[in-house]
Amino acid sequence: MASERTSLAHLPGRGEDQGGGGESLPDVRPAQRMRDLLPAVEPDRRLDDWGRSERIETAFDKTLVEFFYRYWFRAEVAGIENVPAEGGALLVSNHSGALPPDAAMIAKAIREEHPAPRPLYLTVEHFFKGYPGFSMLLPKLGGVPAHPANVHRLLFDERRLVLVFPEGRKGTEKLYKDRYRLRRFGRGGFVDAAMRAEAKLVPVCVVGAEEAMPVFAQIEALRKLTGLIYFPITPTFPWLGPLGILGYLPAKFKIRFLEPIDTVELGGPEARHDRALVQVTAQEIRARIQENLDDMLARRRSVWLG
Amino acid sequence: MARLTGDPAAGAGPEGGLEALGAPVDPGTRRVLITGLSTYWGGRLAQALERFDQVEAIIGVDSSEPTRELERTEFVKVSNQHSLIERIVRAAEIDTVVDTRLIVNSVLASPRDVHENNIIGTLNILAACTGADSPVRKFIFKSSAHWYGSARDDPAFFTEEMRRSQPPGTLLERDIVEAEAAVDDFAHKNRDVAVTVIRFANVLGPDVDTAFTRLFGLPVVPMMLGFDPRLQFIHEDDVVHALEHAAFHLLPGTYNAAADGVLALSEVIGLLGKRPAPVLPPWGAGALAGPLRRLGLRIPDEILGLLRFGRGVDNRLLKATGFEYGFTSRETVIKFGEHLRLDPVIRGREEAYTYEREVEEFLRWSRHVRRREGRDEGVGADREVLGI
Task: Give the one of B187, B225, B264 whose C-beta lies nearest to A132's C-beta.
Answer: B225
Q: Residue B363: how many CB atoms within 10 A of its CB? A: 15
- d(C-alpha B281, C-alpha A279), whole Å: 44
Q: Residue B16: how many CB atoms within 10 A of its CB? A: 6
Does A222 score more than 80 pLDDT?
yes
Which of A104, A94, A96 lies closest to A256 in space, CA to CA? A94
Most confident option among A168-177, A180-189, A232-241, B316-325: B316-325
One-letter identity of residue A9: A
> Quick check: A267 and A196 in contact, CB under 8 A?
no
Confidence bin at B21 (pLDDT 50/70/90): low
> What value does the mean pLDDT take over residues B150-160?
96
One-letter identity of residue A106: I
> What value does the mean pLDDT take over residues B365-381?
62
Higher pLDDT residue, A143 or B345? A143
At A9, give phi and psi (nearest 5°).
Answer: -65, -35
> What value does the mean pLDDT take over residues B177-199?
96
Contact criterion met (CB < 8 Å) for A22 and B252:
yes
> What value does the mean pLDDT take over residues A3-11?
35
> What value does the mean pLDDT take over residues B266-293?
85
Q: Residue B189: how many CB atoms within 10 A of its CB? A: 10
Contact criterion met (CB < 8 Å) for A132 and B254:
no
| CA distance to partner chain B, nearest, from residue A299 (Å) | 42
Contact criterion met (CB < 8 Å) for B153 and A20:
no
**What local confidence, expressed as pLDDT, does residue A21 receive?**
36
Does B388 score more than 90 pLDDT?
no
Contact criterion met (CB < 8 Å) for A19 and B262:
no
Continuous segment of H or E residues that includes residue B114: helix B111-115
Confidence bin at B173 (pLDDT 50/70/90): very high
Helix then strand then coil, in percent of chain B rounded to 5, is: 40, 15, 45
> What value does the mean pLDDT take over residues B107-123?
93
- ipTM strictly over 0.90? no
Contact criterion met (CB < 8 Å) for B228 and A135:
yes
| CA distance to partner chain A, nearest, from residue B119 (Å) | 15
Handedness of CA B11, B16, B17, B18 (dihedral sign): positive
| Residues of chain B contacting residue A15, judged by C-beta atoms under 8 Å apart | 161
**What local confidence, expressed as pLDDT, does residue A192 receive?**
95
Does B182 score more than 80 pLDDT?
yes
Pairs across A and B, CB distance < 8 A:
150
On average, the pLDDT of chain A sits at 87
Does A262 score more than 70 pLDDT?
yes
**Best residue of B122, B183, B227, B251 to probe chain A, by most A CBs closer than 10 Å:** B227
Task: Give the one of B191, B261, B308 whose C-beta lies nearest to A42's C-beta.
Answer: B261
**What local confidence, expressed as pLDDT, does residue B193 receive?**
95
> What value does the mean pLDDT take over residues B262-287?
90
Contact criterion met (CB < 8 Å) for A129 and B254:
no
Does A10 score more than 50 pLDDT?
no
| CA distance to partner chain A, nearest, from residue B309 (Å) | 7
**What local confidence, expressed as pLDDT, does residue B6 receive?**
40
Confidence bin at B13 (pLDDT 50/70/90): very low
Pick from A15-24, A279-288, B238-247: least confident:
A15-24
Higher pLDDT residue, A81 or A5? A81
Does B29 score more than 50 pLDDT?
yes
**What local confidence, expressed as pLDDT, does residue A173 receive?**
85
> What value does the mean pLDDT take over residues B345-365?
84
Q: Is B295 helix (H, G, I), strand (E, B) or coil?
A: coil
Say if A139 is an interface residue toward chain B (CB within 8 Å).
yes
Does A42 score more than 60 pLDDT?
yes
**What local confidence, expressed as pLDDT, does residue B372 receive?**
64
Q: What is the pLDDT of residues A115-157, one digit of tens each?
A: 999 999 999 999 999 999 999 999 999 999 999 999 999 999 9
Most confident option among A17-21, A100-104, B199-203: B199-203
On average, the pLDDT of chain B sits at 87
**What local confidence, expressed as pLDDT, does residue A17 receive?**
35
| Residues of chain A contacting residue B157, judged by C-beta atoms under 8 Å apart | 49, 149-150, 153
| Residues of chain B contacting residue A40, judged by C-beta atoms under 8 Å apart | 260
> What value does the mean pLDDT take over residues A157-166?
96
Does A22 score more than 50 pLDDT?
no
**What local confidence, expressed as pLDDT, does residue B9 receive?**
38
Q: Quick one: DSSP state of residue B19?
A: G
Does A258 score more than 90 pLDDT?
yes
Task: Give the one of B154, B196, B315 whose C-beta lies nearest to A20's C-beta.
Answer: B196
Does B47 score more than 70 pLDDT?
yes
Which residues, 6 or more positions from A239, have their beta carbon under 8 angstroms from its beta carbon? none
> Quick check: A94 and A106 in contact, CB under 8 A?
no
Does B2 score more than 50 pLDDT?
no
- d(C-alpha A102, C-alpha A77), whole Å: 13
| CA distance to partner chain A, nearest, from residue B221 (Å) | 17
Confidence bin at B347 (pLDDT 50/70/90): confident
